[in-house]
Chain A
């Protein structure tokens, strides 16, 4: 007690201890980029976004401060809670834009599917951790079942984008846990053939009288619009046509910050959220786009390095899956904005306006930091 002295430097050091400097630097680059773009795309939302930044960074810090062991203890309760809330949404959720996604829990509205993006890989990582060393095929079946339940619940909301992301996050864990290549390769081949045939027979499949059975009408429309945006240039194709025009007209160097005509004349829909990449590509050109790609690539490399050297099986799986989730967000978003993937509501990670996705992603960064720190402490020990 007597040797306690107020030492501000020590306090700062204690505060910074959970933070991984490399991840923090990359995150700072991305958030800085987001700030610059938001000034052009939607300056009136800057104040709100600053608040989102603060909340997200706090969440990240909290996650980084926890140890992976703490987190894994929460895996099962979080997963169970998530599933219960999803059932609640399907039964009592509020309807907005034709889908039931929000649940009013009295104090605030929450989107339980968002929780699942973190708790899903957490749950599966925990499960495989329990089976470490003697993982058998049946474990993959159980993991598959754990995955299918929440994904199915989200799909019937309906929310194709989120259900795909949640499914992906679980599949990444299963992949890293060592699902046999004999299964993965045929699955990939089937997927490629399936997509290829949709593209090849798009014209026939997109006739209005064709019912796709598994997908809802609006989902069918999105796929069809991707195949041929001109079929509805002022309606559903408008997004894709205008965003490719924005990207293409940006050229190598871009039109300059705040100079994007597509952005500022409101031809770009959703320019501050899902289509913010088009603002970037229009104003900063190919160079700006490649800088962003490089930043994501570095983030992913850092995540994989952390995963490869993580001390426990669970943290490895978790780190690998989270890293792949970052990649998935980035790839799907940029792919849809540039017109090579259908329009599914996936934001550009760390850049798009909005608190929910940012907090989720920063929680992921925090978990990576936590795992990195656990490795350092494990080495010291």
Chain B
């Protein structure tokens, strides 16, 4: 009985417990239902947005950079597709370990590793940093198959910049490099941040830098659905990028190549201009460098080699270095004499070998002088005494006033970055240049030095070439330019860069004729005779020698002076003489007499340009032309003229920095 009752009791108790458990279950499931209601109804909008944010990403589509071709369509800068191996540092815990791991899959040279570490320091951690480019298909496959265990490692298809001409024309074309913090700031200032999203490279030098806005193009946007791994799964919508515009140059890369090889191992610069348009045909600065080194980020070693070389290969001497023009200044002085009425072509002076100012003698190179010298002869034999006298008669203010319109001592406005001003000296300039009162004073002797292109005068090869172009173009001065057409990437339309006349210098045709006759005489019977012997075209020229080092009264004997202190060798020339198609200026650093090293280079360039003949045929070009040149070393003695000489020595050295 008790047994049954207790059993019944237990059953009743059990059923009560079941009811309680059921209530508990209902409460808990109700709690869940409430939670679902909260998430799915009350907070639905919020979570929907979160899900959309999760899934949609805006990816920049980087435009193709415009290409650069020369005047004949030869490619100077282009893009090529390549696979690069990249690491996103923020996703990698152990970078060295990952690199070791990768090294087992693809060859990674120590050099590339060092470059990667350098780039790593410069980059932000969420940007992917290239380890290696130019992966072969097999290497790509190997990395991709192992990618699952290498988080943060990616193989990306990228367009890399390629400069097929290598060192030829490198200073003109320039190069691109990875965007650094300074670039970012500049981009921000220009309000271009959005357009550079996704872009990794930017023009750093030359045309690549100057025409950055043309070459870069417009970045497109792709709206993509991404998965949890951040990989794009499918495209939702996209705005296609617009490729950058292409550049077509006035430059002739073959002419450039001829000019560069004519320099050989010598340092120097050459600028060749088409006088009727201001188009630059060749712009050389030697030694040059390989712009391809910069594309993936230059290695420390390569950078050190370029940057610390005493030859300064990265320096564009043609536009950045200013040198005293030496005797190449004389034709312009002669023109000044004629235009101001201080001289007539027929008027001759007696040259006894020196010019006296006060109690100081300015010496001519030829002991005993050239005898009676008129304007023509003064150019042909490069007579210093004639120009000492002329400078004295004109006075420094008139010289400066006359020379300024030719563009001396002012930026030409060429479409390249980093052009130097140079110096066209005047009392006014000296007052601004120096701080101490005794230095600010202009000495009459300094005017005499300026007359033969020494002293404070310092012009870039570009300035000299452009001034010559204006001289042979009847005073019409153009802004020199390298780009001839900008080719619109969408329409294919060629937007011409019109020759831009800066000014027309009012010059009498007969005066120009007289000076040009003198320059033609130089190449026939004067200091340029040897270099231009047998030329199948007529030409005009003028040699020049710029002092690097003042000898303080001693005679300049080349062999005795250390190479770096030897004079710079100049030559300016144009051809054909009647209707010039090319005007150029050549400078060979420490090349000695102008006729000796600079003039033959000019000859080779002109032969190629006018006759399409490569160098090598006329023999003995480099023969010593000492007696022909007759020397044009102005022997500057102490006192004020010596100060001028010292300044001349400083100018080019300073400009190299």
The closest CB in chain A to the CB of B13 belongs to: A178
B14, B18, B28, B51: the one within 8 Å of A262 (CB): B51
Known: A266-B227, A296-B29. Is A247-B40 also a contact (CB below 8 A)?
Answer: yes
Report A166-200 CB contacts with B as 1/0, cut-off 8 Å: 00000010011010000000000000000000000
**CB atoms of B33 and A290 under 8 A apart:** yes
Q: Does A244 contact B (CB under 8 A)?
A: yes
Among B36, B46, B51, B227, which residue has its beta carbon within 8 angstroms of that of A281?
Answer: B36
A365 at the interface (CB under 8 A from B): no
Q: Closest CB-CB distance, A237 to chain B, in whole Å?
A: 14
**A340 touching B35 by the CB < 8 A rule?**
yes
Query: Which of B3-11, B176-184, B491-499, B545-553 lies at the interface?
Result: B3-11
Smallest beta-carbon distance B2→chain A, Å: 8
CA–CA, A252 and B492, complex, Å: 54
**Is B33 a contact partner of A320 (Cβ separation < 8 A)?**
no
A247 touches which one: B10, B14, B36, B55 (CB < 8 A)? B36
Residues of A contacting B265 in the complex (Cβ-Cβ under 8 angstroms)? none
* A229 CB within 8 Å of chain B: no
Q: Does A334 contact B (CB under 8 A)?
A: yes
A134 is an interface residue with CB less than 8 A from chain B? yes
Rounded to whole angstroms, the CA-CA distance of A31 and B127 in the bound complex is 47
Q: Across the two chains, which residue of chain B brings its CB closest to A238?
A: B228
| Chain B residues whose C-beta falls within 8 Å of the C-beta of A360 in the assembled complex | none
Contacts A252-B44, A316-B14, A340-B35 hold; do A245 and B51 have CB atoms under 8 A apart?
A: yes
Report A-chain residues with C-beta under 8 Å of the C-beta of B147: none
What does DSSP make chain A's interface, helix, strand, loop or mixed? helix
A308 to B11, CA, bound (A): 8
Whole-angstrom distance between the Cβ of A273 and the nearest chain B Cβ: 16
The distance in angstroms between the C-alpha atoms of A377 and B33, with both chains bound, is: 39
Identify which of residues 25-52 in chain B touch chain A, using a CB-to-CB cut-off of 8 Å.
Answer: 25-26, 28-29, 31-33, 35-37, 39-41, 43-44, 46-48, 50-52
Q: Does A371 contact B (CB under 8 A)?
A: no
Cβ of B616 under 8 Å from chain A: no
Judge if B197 is at the interface, Cβ distance under 8 Å.
no
Complex Cα distance A307/B11, Å?
10
B431 at the interface (CB under 8 A from A): no
| CB < 8 Å neighbour of A244 from B7, B39, B55, B229 | B39
Contact A266 B31 (CB under 8 A): no
Residues of B within 8 A of A178 (CB): 10, 13-14, 17
Per-residue A-contact encoding for B42-81, CB less than 8 Å = 1, 0 else:
0110111011101100000000000000000000000000
B22 at the interface (CB under 8 A from A): yes
Out of B33, B40, B228, which one reaches A266, CB within 8 Å?
B228
Q: Is B254 an interface residue, CB under 8 A from the partner?
A: no
Chain A nearest CB from B509 CB (Å) reads 79
Smallest beta-carbon distance A185→chain B, Å: 11
Sorting the interface of chain A by its residue count into under 10, 10 to 19, 20 to 34 or 35 or more gives 35 or more
In the assembled complex, A246 has its CB within 8 A of some CB on chain B: yes
Residue B620, interface by CB 8 Å: no
CB atoms of A286 and B40 under 8 A apart: yes
Beta-carbon nearest neighbor of B53 in chain A: A245
- Of B17, B39, B54, which is within 8 A of A176 by CB? B17
B-facing residues in A245-295 (Cβ within 8 Å):
245-252, 261-262, 265-267, 281, 285-286, 289-290, 293
Quick check: B227 and A251 within 8 Å, CB to CB? no
With A247-B39, A248-B47, A262-B54 as contacts: A320 and B14 at CB distance below 8 Å:
yes
A338, chain B: closest CB distance, angstroms: 5
Asked if B29 and A267 make an inter-chain contact with CB atoms under 8 angstroms apart, the answer reads no
A301 within 8 A of B: yes
Residues of A within 8 A of B40 (CB): 247-248, 250-252, 281, 285-286, 289
Bound-complex Cα distance A213 to B649 (A): 83
Write out the residue numbers on chain A whose beta carbons fall within 8 Å of the beta carbon of B7.
Answer: 132-133, 313
Interchain CA distance A33-B469 in the complex, whole Å: 88
Contacts of B46 in A (CB 8 A): 248
Tell me which residues across on chain A come within 8 A of B17, comparing CB atoms: 175-176, 178, 320
**Contact across chains for A301 and B22 when beta carbons are under 8 A apart:** yes
A329 at the interface (CB under 8 A from B): no
Contacts of A331 in B (CB 8 A): 28-29, 32
Asked if A81 CB lies within 8 Å of chain B CBs, one says no
A261 touches B55 (CB 8 A): yes
Chain B residues with CB under 8 A of A132? 7, 10
A248 in contact with B228 given A178-B14, A320-B18 (CB within 8 Å):
no
CB of B225 within 8 Å of the partner chain: yes
- A317: which B residues are within 8 A, CB to CB? 14
Whether B226 is near chain A, meaning CB under 8 Å from some CB there, is yes
Whether A286 contacts B13 by the Cβ 8 Å rule is no
Is A34 an interface residue, CB under 8 A from the partner? no
Partner of A338, one of B18, B39, B50, B228: B39
Say whether B623 faces chain A, with CB atoms less than 8 Å apart.
no
| Chain B residue with Cβ nearest A261 | B55
A296 CA / B31 CA spacing, docked (Å): 14
Q: How far is the CA of A211 from the CA of B3 in the complex (A)?
A: 53
Q: List 24 contacting pairs A-B, 8 Å CB cutoff, sorted by A.
A: A133-B3, A133-B10, A134-B6, A175-B21, A178-B14, A178-B17, A245-B54, A248-B46, A251-B40, A252-B40, A252-B44, A261-B54, A262-B54, A265-B54, A267-B55, A281-B39, A297-B25, A308-B18, A313-B14, A316-B14, A317-B14, A324-B21, A338-B36, A340-B31
Given contacts A248-B43, A331-B32, 20 further A-B contacts (CB under 8 A): A132-B10, A176-B21, A242-B54, A244-B39, A248-B46, A250-B40, A251-B40, A252-B44, A285-B40, A290-B36, A293-B33, A297-B25, A300-B25, A308-B18, A313-B10, A313-B14, A320-B14, A327-B25, A338-B36, A338-B39
Task: Report which B residues bind A (CB closer than 8 A).
Answer: 3, 6-7, 10-11, 13-15, 17-18, 21-22, 25-26, 28-29, 31-33, 35-37, 39-41, 43-44, 46-48, 50-52, 54-55, 225-229, 233
**5 smallest A-B Cβ distances: which pairs?**
A248-B47, A249-B51, A265-B227, A248-B39, A286-B40
